Structure 1
Amino acid sequence: MLEEKLGRNVTLEIVKTTDFGVYLGTKEDKVLLPARQVPEGAGIGDAVDVFLYRDSKDRIIATTHVPKIRMGEVKALKVKDTGAIGAFLDWGLEKDLFLPFKQQTARVKPGDECLVGLYTDKSGRLCATMKVYDRLEKNSPYKKDDRVQGIIYEKSLNFGLFVAVDDRYCALIPRREASGRYKVGDRISARVTDVKPDGKLDLSVREKAFIQMDADAQAVMDKLLENGGELPFTDKADPELIRAQFGFGKNAFKRAVGRLLKEGKIEIREKSIAIK
């Protein structure tokens, strides 16, 4: 059945020709390839490589155009538009790819990039889903301390930021490392901190502590200057307050403050930190 091949490339024979195109497959189970896409000189019995999807009237149709994603793949696509029940993605074909609200891990808007896979809904239509965790590979070539690139495809209050390294490998920035400034769809550069036994990667967007300390100390100084030279809390502040202010954890904050104290740039008062 051709319906079972939706979202895939297939090679089919021409079984009938018309003024508006050719029919491919068998006499009992055939699909139209529009005339403007029929290879020059092709006739009955010739094989044509096509992609199968549904047109604007939900009819199965063939195309020789190459889509940006096929069934079984995970790809990053641009959002073209949004509507009352979801979003529409550019996947290189005439009819945009539908991304229902229920399949979004975060609300998207036109111009956004999101990582998706394909599935067929209850009506047999091809749709996109941002819920790709189980579709990602776990056999990456990366090891601890390697630098990698990826896209955030989901956020979790319990676990952190789910990342697809190279848009294909399963990775996580743990909650303790996940800054609030990142959102779904962001492209990131990160460092591999661990490779799990199952092949999944743990990542950090921060450098090793001794390297990161300079940048963190500068971030504290910048925040002090923004606040008139004084912060209304010390290095004993609540960890969540520190993370909300700086995007890194309490230990990193204490190291940064210690660096600034050693350099004589700040002083710690009873309830505040101030520039000297």
Structure 2
Amino acid sequence: MIRLGEKQTLEVIKKVDFGVYLGEKAGSDEKVLLPAKQVPAGADLGSKVEVFIYKDSDDRLIATTSEPKIMLGDVRVLRVKETTRIGAFMDWGLEKDVLLPFKEQTAKVKAGDDVLCAMYIDKSSRLCVTMNVYKYLKNDSPYGKDDKVMGTVYEMSDNFGAFVAVDDIYSGLIAKKELYGNLKIGDRISARVVSVKEDGRLNLSVREKAYLQMDTDADKIFSMIENGGGKLPFTDKASPDLIREKTGMSKNEFKRAVGRLLKEGKIVIGPDSIELK
């Protein structure tokens, strides 16, 4: 069987002026064209050739010896070539660009963007890519608690947090309570593994353990006070939302960092502000 979107080793079963036809074996009813410019030197009837199977502009199966940047079921970063009314066309290393349909986009994309995608076969039996990569990610990562990892944010959820493809292969989540800064789809991030779920998915944090993070947070607050003319116009009595908005920290993290600065004698806390000492 000739399999769309995959690499296969097929046999040359017929030679024509414009290339060769490949099949599983001589006499196969199912065959696919390998254009003349793709035919390896010395290939003859019975020769075995490793090819990738996709569809040409006329929607016919065609073979290539070129290496695609993504294959069926893979998750890879592809670059947007152009956007149209039906979606975005992505560079995947072959002559015919692959479509990222509008309905498969989790964020607006533009030419030049690098986008994490998975390849699938649509209802019309065509190869397409999607930004909804969750079900294509693996759960058998080699990482454990406190390991440092790199990944790509591929979805933001108001309920759950930021979904991350670790190494662009493994499934990870930065829980809503662990979100800091302005993460967005497509961001490349460094994170720490907080825990590994029973199913193998990774729980992540973009922050260090509390005792390590405290020094970094204290330095950040001290810089904010300096840049604010020696004064921060709120204290640890402020609402959690205000503290997170202004500092990117939870209220407890803010209090710990302020406590560190206070202990070091660098600040004084007034009724509604924090000032340099």
TM-score band (shorter)? over 0.9
Please give the TM-score of this superposition, normalised by the length of structure 1. Answer: 0.92
Displaced runs of 4 or more, over 4 A:
none
- Gap change, CA 1:164 and 1:84, over 3 Å in 2: same
Aligned to 1:33: 34
Matched residue type, 1:77: L
3-state DSSP of counterpart to 1:82? strand
Q: What is the distance in 2 between the residues matched to 1:269 and 1:57? A: 73
> Deviation at 1:166?
1.6
Aligned to 1:110: 111
Q: Which runs of 5 or more structure 1 residues have no equivalent in the other structure?
A: none
1:50-82, Cα deviation, whole Å (9 max, x unpaired): 111112232221100111111122222222322
Q: What is the distance in 1 between the residues matched to 2:10 and 2:265? A: 76
- Report the number of matched residues: 274
Q: Quick one: percent identity of the two aligned structures?
A: 61
Q: Indicate conservation of the 8 Å contact 1:177/1:248, yes or no.
A: no
Q: What is the distance in 2 between the residues matched to 1:88 and 1:226? A: 45
Aligned to 1:11: 9
Q: What's the C-alpha RMSD, in Å, of the aligned pairs? A: 1.7
Aligned to 1:241: 242
Task: Give runs of aligned pairs for residues 47-126 of structure 1, distance below 5 A.
Answer: 47-126=48-127
Q: What is the distance in 2 between the residues matched to 1:251 and 1:39? A: 65
Aligned to 2:206: 205
Matched residue type, 2:69: K
Task: Give runs of aligned pairs for residues 185-264 of structure 1, distance below 5 A.
Answer: 185-264=186-265
Matched residue type, 2:132: K
1:146-174, Cα deviation, whole Å (9 max, x unpaired): 11121111111111111111211111111
3-state DSSP of counterpart to 1:92? coil
Matched residue type, 2:209: K
Q: What is the distance in 2 between the residues matched to 1:256 and 1:110? A: 42
3-state DSSP of counterpart to 2:186? coil
Matched residue type, 1:72: G
Q: What is the distance in 1 between the residues matched to 2:198 and 2:47? A: 50
Per mean C-alpha deviation after superposition, the further-off stretch among 218-227 and 187-196 is 218-227
Q: Indicate conservation of the 8 Å contact 1:15/1:44, yes or no.
A: yes
Q: Which runs of 5 or more structure 2 residues have no equivalent in the other structure?
A: none
Q: Indicate conservation of the 8 Å contact 1:88/1:98, yes or no.
A: yes
Q: What is the distance in 2 between the residues matched to 1:265 and 1:78? A: 49
Please give the TM-score of this superposition, normalised by the length of structure 2. Answer: 0.92
- Gap change, CA 1:200 and 1:27, over 3 Å in 2: closer
Q: What is the distance in 2 between the residues matched to 1:236 and 1:20? A: 77
